[in-house]
Each structure stands twice: as C-alpha cells, then as structure tokens.
Amino acid sequence: MIRDIFIFLSVLALFSAVMTVFARNLVHSILYLILCFFAIAGHYLLLNAEFLAIVNIIVYAGAIMVLFLFAVMLLNLNKTKRITLSRISLFAAVISGGILLLVFVAAIRKNTYMVNPVSLGSDFGSVKFLGKILFNEYILPFEISSILFLSAMIGSIILIKKEHR
Amino acid sequence: MINYQSTLQAVPLNWYILVSLTLFCIGAIGIIYRRNSIVIIMCIELMINSVNLLLAAFSAYNGNADGQIFVFFIMVVAAAEVTVGLALIVVMYRNINSTDISLFNNLKW
Amino acid sequence: MLLALIVLLPLAGYLLLTFAGKYFPRSSGGLLASLLVAISFLLSMGAFFMTRQHGMFVTGPFSWIDTAEFRASFSLQADSLTLVMSVMITGVSALIHFYSIGYMKEDPLINRFFSYMNLFVFFMLLLVMADNYLLLFAGWEGVGLCSYLLIGFWFKNPEYAKAADKAFIINRIGDLGFLLAIATLYITFGTLKFADIQTQLQSGIGVNQMTLITLLLFTGAVGKSAQIPLFTWLPDAMAGPTPVSALIHAATMVTAGIYLVIRSRALFMLSPLSMHVVSAIGIITALFAASIALRQFDIKKILAYSTISQLGLMFFALGLGAFDASLFHLLTHAFFKALLFLCAGSVIHGLHGQQDIRFMGHLKEKTPVTFITMLIGALAISGIPPFSGFFSKDGILAAAQQASPLLWILGLGVSLLTSFYMFRLIYLVFYGQYRGETGSWDPIHESPRIMTTPLIILAILSVISGLINVPGLFGGGEWLGNYTGLVQVMREGDHLTEWILMIITLLAVSGMILLARNRFTGKDIPEVSATTTKPIGRLLTGKYYVDEIYQAVITNPLARISDTLYSFVELKIVDALVEGVGATVSYLSRIFRFLQSGSVSFYLFFMVVGIILVLVLNLFM
C-alpha cells in the first residue's frame, strides 16, 4: 500500500511538473506548480518528515507561490500574449534534458545504497527532534540566515525603488 | 503517523532518487524551453524542490537528521532568492514592458 | 685601497662631467678632468716608489661573477710591470688632458670630451691593473668603446662617424679571438687569474693547446694594436681630435695588445710557433706601414702609419723573446709619439685647420717651440743618440741580430724608412718655402702656453727616458729590465759585434736623414708639385688599396647577403609567421563569435550541455 501511495504521489508530482513547463497560461503554470509542491509534501509525510511537509506547504506553496501570483497580477502579465516558442528550442531542450536524465541514471544504476538499520523512533522528523538539532548544532547558520533574509529584503526594496528625477 | 520504517522497506531508495532526478530534468527542460522569465524562476524552484526531496529521502534512509536541516536551510535560501528574482523581474518589466528574456540580447558581438 | 683610488678617480671625473656637466662653466670641466688624472699620476708614482723591486699591491677580490661553474672576481693587482705602465699612462694622459684644455677651447661640447677622456683613462688603468683575463677584457672592451666615442666625437660629420664605426668593428673582430682565448684558457686551466695560471703552467700543458690559446690572444692584440690584417682602422681614426690620436692611438690603447702579450709571456714562450707568428706579423707590418708613410700627405696619417710601424717593431721584439726591449720601446714610443702627435696638433691649430703638408713649409719661423719639440721627437724616433729612441731600438735590433742576421737587416730597413719619412715630414713642414694660400701666412701663430708646456715636458722625457734601461753595452744597469723581471738571459752577445752593428745603423740612419734633406728642401720638390706620379708612388699613396680590397671582398658580399636574408627570410618567412598567428586568431574568433548571441536560453542550453559533459567525463574516466 505504501508503494501505491508512493507511485500515486510521484505521478502527480511529475505530471504537475510537466504541466508547469508546458502550460500556455501563466497562472495555470503557477497553479500546477502549487500542486507539485503538495505532492512533494505528501512525499515528505511518507518519509516521516512532518516538519518539512508543513513548512513546504506554508512557505513554498503558501508564501512563495502567492508572491508569484501577486507579481503576475500586479504587473498584469496575464494578458495572453501569444509567445510563439520555436520548435528548435523544444527539441534542444527535450533532447538535452533527456540526455541529462540518462547520464544521471547511468551514474546511479550500479550503486547500492546501505540502509542504516538504526531505528530512531517515530519522532524522527518531528518538530521537537529537528528543533533540538537545529538549535544545538546549527545555531550559527540559523542566525546567519536571518542576515540573509535581511539582505534579500533590502535588496529587493532597493531594486524596486523608482529613481526620482 | 505513518511508520516510516514501512516506507523504508516498501520503497527502495533508488525509486526516490529516480523521481528526484526526473523532476530535476523536467526543470532543466523548462529553463531552456520557456522564454517567460517568471516561468523560468518557477522551474528553478522545481529543481530546488527535487533536490529537497532527494535530501529528505537520504536523511530518512540513513537515519540522519542532517539532511532535513539542510532542506530547511535550502528553503530559506530559496525564499530569499525568489524575493530578489521577482524584484528583478519587476525592474525588467519596467524597462521593456515585457518579461520575455529573448528581448534582452544587446550584450552580443 | 691605493689602487682603487688610482683607478676610480678618472671614473669619478667621467661621472661628474657626464651627469653634472652642464653646471660646470666651460673652462673648468677640462681643468677638473686634468687634475683628476694628475692626482692619479701622483698616486701611481707614490705606489711605484713604495714597491721598488719586489712587492705587489693587491686590491680585492670583490666577487663579480659567482656561480658554481664559473667564478670571476673584480680585483686589482699591481706588480712592477703594471706600475710602470700605469705611471706612463697616467703621466702622459695628464699632459694630454692639459694640452686639450687649450686645443678644444672653442668646442661647445668640451665637457663631454673630457668626460670621455677620463672614462678612457679609467678603462685603461683597469686593463693594466686587472688580475684576471676577464677583468682585463672588460678594460679592453672599455677602451675600445671610448675610442669609438672619441674618434666620432665630431659626430655630425658622417665621415667621422663612419671612421669611428670602422674602428670599433675591426676591434671587435680581434675581440672575438680574445673571447675565444678566454674560453680556452678557462677550459684548460679552470681559472682566469694570472697568478693561478702561472702556477699551473709548471705541470705541463700540451704545445698544441698553448699554440691555440696564444694565437687567439694574439688575434685580439692584432685588432687592438693595428697589425696586419686588422690595421685599417687606425689611419681613419685620425678623424678624431688630435689629443685623442695622441692619447689613444699612440701611447695607450694601441699598446694594450703589447701589454697583453707581455702579461701572457709565460704562455707564449711555451709555443714556439706562436712566437714566430708574432714576430713575422710584427716585422711585415712594420715594413708595410713604413712604406705607406713615405707617400702620405696628411700630417696625422703619416704619424698614424708610423705608429703602426713602431707597434710592428714591438711585436717583432716580443716574438723574439725580447720582452724587456719591447716594453722599453713601448715606453719611449709613448713619449715621443705622443709628443709628435701633440706637435702636429699644435701645427694644425696654428694653421687654423690645415693638415696637408703640401700646403705647409717654412714654419720654423712662426712656431719655434713646436718646431724644436717636433724635431726632438723626430730625432728620438729615428734612433739618434742620446735620445731615448736610440736605446730602445738598439735593444730590439740586438735581439733581432741574435736570432738571425736576416732579421737584423729587416729591422734595419724599418729604421731607415722611419727616419726617412719622419724627416721628410720635418723638412716639408718647417723648412723650405711656405706653400699655403697667399694671405694665410700672417695669421699663423704659435700655440698658447697651456699647449706648448706639455710639448716641452714630453720632449724632455723623450730625451732622458733612455736612461731607464741603458743596455749593458754602455755600462748601464738595465734598470727597467731588472725591475720588471723581464730580462732575457740570452742577450749576452759579443760586445764587439754589437758595437759594429750599432755604428752601421747610426751611419745608415744619418745617411737617410741627409738624403731626406736633399730631396725635400730647396726650391722645387718633385712630389709636391708633380701632377703625375709613377705607379709605385700611386700605390703607396693609395695605401696599397687595402681598404678597397676589404670593401670588395668582405664588406660588400656581407651587405648583399644581409639584404637577401632580409628580403627573403625576414619578410617572407618570419613576418608571415608572426602575422599568421594574428590572422589565425582573428579567423578563429570570427568563427566562434556566434557563441555570444545574447539570448539567455542559448546560454542556459549550453550550461546544461556543459553539465552533461562534466558528468560524462567524470563517470567514464
């Protein structure tokens, strides 16, 4: 049964990813991507990464994608401009992407991965567990990421400001 | 919730890797194919998420929580990056009134 | 320390005059230069009196080239030979410097002249005081350079500049031999210091190697001292100011070759073949040059050929093993040849630039001091007792007679020619009637005292310097030979024979002088007024056309080869190659320019392709 859930979620993720790339309408693309994020959140739940799943939905699907929608709506990018995309581009993209996939698969084909039999209990992936690790070993990157956010905010505001003649 | 041990037994790790790589390549295709800069940024997000999935899978299968912490930080960075990227798109739109990147071809021979 | 001071004072003069020359008023530059050389002279005399017979000054060694394979040091040594040479060099140079203050007074570039003269003295002193062949070569090159600078001093005249080039290039040919000699010396002995080579000689070196080394050294000497076949630069070098001719081409630079052979006498004596070569070239050059001097009409050119001839005599003596006679003649020749040149300069100065003796005459009335000093010089060079030339030439002739009577006859021939052309010069310039343009007689004047005083001093020296090496024949002590340790044991000849030969020589020389007087005074002098001359006369006047032969056989073919190489190799091959590189780059860049298309998707596509390539290379390597 787990396997079925896994396959279902994977197909959903892949399908929505493909639709993201090939949808004509911009808003449709964004919505398909949101669907993809939900599928991936489902995968996280399968792996008992509860925290990641929720954060994925809240931050990615909830904040970042909404930000995308805001940008699209505010700039009025939704007007259908028929951008004719060239066939050559499609062929080049698909072929190179395909070859990339092939190379990746070839790379991992012969590998066998050791699964660590150590059982960590069912709280593995819970907020408490991750929080303990995060605030004990990774406190420094945590703090620095705050500076990262600060710089991103300042950067984007500065970029947006209109010059006063 | 779900006993993830059963996941570990039911689904071999290779499948996760395969899914992740496929998502990555779809994102790569999208970058090359689409000319709308917003879609390109979205495909970049797709690629980032595929990597997140891979990391989470490895973390679960190896019993090491470091992978999930890494995912956490990747999300942080992705959020910041999207912010700045969208700001750039706004500026770009102001200049040429379009988001088509093929219109940005002045830096050539 | 003393040696360093002697050597470096003229260098200081050069540096001061070169870099601060424009701050010196015109007259004081010359005075400064002359005083510096005079101080060097006094210091040399001091060193000379300090050492006497034995003892040697050494300065250094200062490390110059210091690699694992090759070591050469910058150190000076002054044994008796060096001290004698340096006293002569600094003394004569000081006199000529003072003379030049008067001679070059109107020249606007006078400070540059004196800076070059000082530099020359520095290099010459370095040459004689070096303690290894490499430093000697450095001084050797340096005097060649200064010779070039000074000959071409009036560089605005292209003829003079060409003469300077000729001097330098022909010198260079000899220097190639010297360089090869240095290399061979190093290979054979592993060192270039004179002292070390002397000690190594006792262990026996092959004759062939010695012959090679000494012949190569002699090649350098031939170039520097203007022997056959590298002599053609010296007459052309008369294009420089007369003090330059006196200093460089009479007393010092051209004697560097003799000094080199004397310094390397231990090497030469081990190779009989080289000694024969040296003698042969010496005597041939002496006769050859003397014959040319018989028919020259430029006062300086006569003296130039005379110098070549006397140098030939010196080499002749060296080849016979009579090193002390050669050194003696070098010293006396320095005095009287410098005197003759300075007198010639005084005459030219008095006649406002006239150098052709066909337009002179009866000058003894107008320039008495110059006349008397020049007469003394002529008597000295002809070998009339008690002037110095008599004693020094007698030494050479005695050595020749000991080797073979034929050589003595050849030496006698040179002496006869010498006295003849010298007195031809005296009679044509100072006696008879004035043959210059009408109206140019009155402005002729005697030179100022700053010019005539060195003449007088040199004349006195020409008289008394015979005393330094009076041969045993006259009861003298042969002081010079003993002091420098050059006395050859073989010179104990039969006294009676020597007396007889000496008297024969004297009579012959006096006969030549009277013959010259007969021909060249009086109303009608054939060779001056004749319009056509016999073929021998033309040959001699044309200097046996040696210059023209060299031009045709060597210079022109080389020039043509160089032109061919230029037009073919340089233009078509080398240029094509170099420009081809540029053309290829442009071509390739035109092809690869499309990569900068400007479209971002294009770039992204290539990024993915790149990643694929990297992965593939990593996986399947």
For residue range C359-414, what is the model confidence (pLDDT) as tens digits?
A: 887 788 888 888 888 888 898 888 887 788 888 888 888 888 877 888 888 888 89
Q: Verify whether the Cβ–Cβ distance A103 to C601 is below 8 Å.
A: no
C touches which chains (3+ CB pairs under 8 A)?
Answer: A, B
* Greatest extent of chain C over all pairs of C-alpha atoms, in Å: 115
Q: Verify whether the Cβ–Cβ distance B32 to C608 is below 8 Å.
A: yes
- Tell me which DSSP letter residue C531 carries: S
Which position has the higher pLDDT, A79 or B51?
Answer: B51
Look at residue C142 and tell me if it is in a domain: no
Nearest CB partner across the interface for B63, out of A29, A49, A118: A118
Number of domains in chain A: 3
Same domain, residue pair C398 and C533: yes
**Quick one: average pLDDT of B61-83?**
91
Determine the residue among A132, A156, A160, A162 to mutate to test chain B binding: the one whose Cβ has the most chain B Cβ atoms within 10 Å: A156
Q: Verify whether the Cβ–Cβ distance A124 to B4 is below 8 Å.
A: yes
Nearest CB partner across the interface for A156, out of B30, B65, B83: B83
Residue B87: pLDDT over 90: yes
pLDDT of C76-111, one tens digit each? 888 878 888 888 888 899 888 888 888 888 788 888
Residue B3: pLDDT over 80: no
**pLDDT at residue A117, rounded to an integer:** 58
Same domain, residue pair A75 and A131: no
Two structure tokens written together for C603: 């770039």
Nearest CB partner across the interface for C600, out of B28, B101, B109: B101
**pLDDT at residue C481, rounded to an integer:** 65
**pLDDT at residue B50, rounded to an integer:** 96
**Quick one: average pLDDT of C288-315?**
89
Q: Verify whether the Cβ–Cβ distance A96 to C609 is below 8 Å.
A: yes
Contact between C37 and C97 (Cβ < 8 Å): yes
SS3 C510: helix
Residues in chain C: 621
Q: Verify whether the Cβ–Cβ distance A103 to C615 is below 8 Å.
A: yes
Helix (H) or strand (E) holding C398: helix C388-403
Contact between C359 and C435 (Cβ < 8 Å): yes
Say if A96 is an interface residue toward chain C (CB within 8 Å): yes
pLDDT of A118-165, one tens digit each? 666 667 778 888 899 899 999 999 999 999 999 999 999 999 887 776
Look at residue C28 and tell me if it is in a domain: yes
Residue A42: pLDDT over 90: yes
Same domain, residue pair C535 and C568: no
- Asked which of C541, C569, C593 is the last residue of a domain, the reply is C541
Which position has the higher pLDDT, C554 or C315?
Answer: C315
Contact between C267 and C202 (Cβ < 8 Å): no
Determine the residue among A96, A99, A102 to mutate to test chain C binding: the one whose Cβ has the most chain C Cβ atoms within 10 Å: A96
Which position has the higher pLDDT, C6 or C332?
Answer: C332
Q: Provide CB contacts within 8 A for B98, sequence distance 6+.
A: A81
CA distance A104 to chain C (A): 8
Residue C121: pLDDT over 80: yes
Cα separation, C221 vs C243, in Å, equals: 23
| Beta-strand relationship, C71-78 and C57-66 | antiparallel
Cα separation, C245 vs C238, in Å, equals: 6
Number of domains in chain C: 3
Residues in chain B: 109
Q: Verify whether the Cβ–Cβ distance B102 to C599 is below 8 Å.
A: yes
pLDDT of C320-352, one tens digit each? 888 888 888 888 898 889 999 999 988 888 888
Contact between C218 and C265 (Cβ < 8 Å): no
**Quick one: average pLDDT of C257-285?**
89
Look at residue C83 and tell me if it is in a domain: yes
Same domain, residue pair A78 and A93: no
Cα separation, C608 vs B29, in Å, equals: 9
**Quick one: average pLDDT of C470-492?**
60
Look at residue C94 and tell me if it is in a domain: yes
Cα separation, A125 vs A108, in Å, equals: 26
Give contacts of C599 with chain B, Cβ < 8 Å. 101-102, 105
Which position has the higher pLDDT, C532 or C8?
Answer: C8
Residue C304: pLDDT over 80: yes
Residue C210: pLDDT over 70: yes
Residue B103: pLDDT over 80: yes
Which among C246, C128, C230, C214 is positioned nearest to C172, based on CA atoms?
C230
Which among C341, C179, C141 is positioned nearest to C256, based on CA atoms?
C141
Cα separation, A51 vs C606, in Å, equals: 38
Residue A31: pLDDT over 70: yes
Same domain, residue pair C291 and C410: yes
Size of interface B-C (CB pairs under 8 A): 31
Q: How many CB atoms lie within 10 A of CB A81?
A: 11
Cα separation, C319 vs C391, in Å, equals: 19
- Tell me which DSSP letter residue B100 carries: B
Q: Verify whether the Cβ–Cβ distance C605 to B35 is below 8 Å.
A: no
- Tell me which DSSP letter residue C545 carries: G
**Quick one: average pLDDT of C445-474?**
76
**C-alpha distance from residue B21 to each of A97, A141, B15, B49 (Å):** 11, 27, 10, 11
Q: How many CB atoms lie within 10 A of CB C599?
A: 16
**How does the average pLDDT of chain C come out, rounded?**
82
A touches which chains (3+ CB pairs under 8 A)?
Answer: B, C
Same domain, residue pair C435 and C502: yes
Same domain, residue pair C507 and C575: no
Chain B residues 39-98 with a CB less than 8 Å from chain C: none
Q: With cut-offs at 50, 70 and 90, classify the pLDDT of residue C456.
A: confident
**pLDDT at residue B56, rounded to an integer:** 93
DSSP secondary structure, C473-502, as one string: GGT---HHHHHHT---GGG---HHHHHHHH
Cα separation, C157 vs C135, in Å, equals: 34
Which among C333, C367, C342, C595 is positioned nearest to C466, based on CA atoms?
C333
Q: Provide CB contacts within 8 A for C533, sequence distance 6+.
A: C527, C541
pLDDT > 90 in chain C, percent: 12
- Tell me which DSSP letter residue C75 carries: E
Side-chain-side CA neighbours of residue B68 (13 Å): 30
Same domain, residue pair A59 and A131: no
Look at residue C336 and tell me if it is in a domain: yes
Same domain, residue pair A41 and A107: no
Which position has the higher pLDDT, B4 or C574?
Answer: C574
Residue A10: pLDDT over 90: yes
Look at residue C150 and tell me if it is in a domain: no
- Tell me which DSSP letter residue B11 carries: S
Q: Verify whether the Cβ–Cβ distance B32 to C593 is below 8 Å.
A: no
Same domain, residue pair C531 and C583: no
Same domain, residue pair C108 and C168: no
**Quick one: average pLDDT of C291-305?**
88
Q: What is the pTM of this model?
A: 0.69
Contact between C330 and C258 (Cβ < 8 Å): yes
Determine the residue among C616, C617, C618 to mutate to test chain A binding: the one whose Cβ has the most chain A Cβ atoms within 10 Å: C616
**How does the average pLDDT of chain B come out, rounded?**
89
**pLDDT at residue A68, rounded to an integer:** 93
Question: What are residue A150's DSSP bridge partners?
Answer: none
Q: How many CB atoms lie within 10 A of CB C406?
A: 10
Query: Which of B79-83, C302-306, C456-460 shows the lowest per-residue confidence on average (mean pLDDT)?
Result: C456-460
CA distance B101 to chain A (A): 12
Contact between A130 and A55 (Cβ < 8 Å): no
pLDDT > 70 in chain A, percent: 90
Query: Which of B57-61, B77-81, C56-60, C271-275 shows the lowest per-residue confidence on average (mean pLDDT)?
Result: C56-60
**Quick one: average pLDDT of B29-46?**
92
Q: Verify whether the Cβ–Cβ distance A17 to B26 is below 8 Å.
A: yes
C434: left (phi over 0), alpha (psi -120 to 50) or beta: beta
Confirm or reject CATH 3.40.50.720 for domain B4-97, answering yes or no: no
Contact between B23 and A66 (Cβ < 8 Å): no
Cα separation, B42 vs A21, in Å, equals: 9
Same domain, residue pair C532 and C562: no
- Asked which of C508, C541, C574 is the last residue of a domain, the reply is C541
Q: Provide CB contacts within 8 A for B64, sequence distance 6+.
A: A116, B58
Residue C531: pLDDT over 60: no
**pLDDT at residue C55, rounded to an integer:** 60
Contact between C91 and C41 (Cβ < 8 Å): yes
Two structure tokens written together for C210: 């010695």
φ/ψ of residue C240, rounded to 5: -80, 170
Residue A37: pLDDT over 90: yes
Same domain, residue pair C56 and C180: no
Residue C226: pLDDT over 60: yes
**C-alpha distance from residue C433 to each of C365, C436, C500 (Å):** 11, 9, 39
SS3 C60: strand
**Quick one: average pLDDT of B48-77?**
92
Could you tell me the residue range of the domain that residue C574 belongs to?
550-620
Could you tell me the residue range of the domain that residue A9 belongs to?
1-82
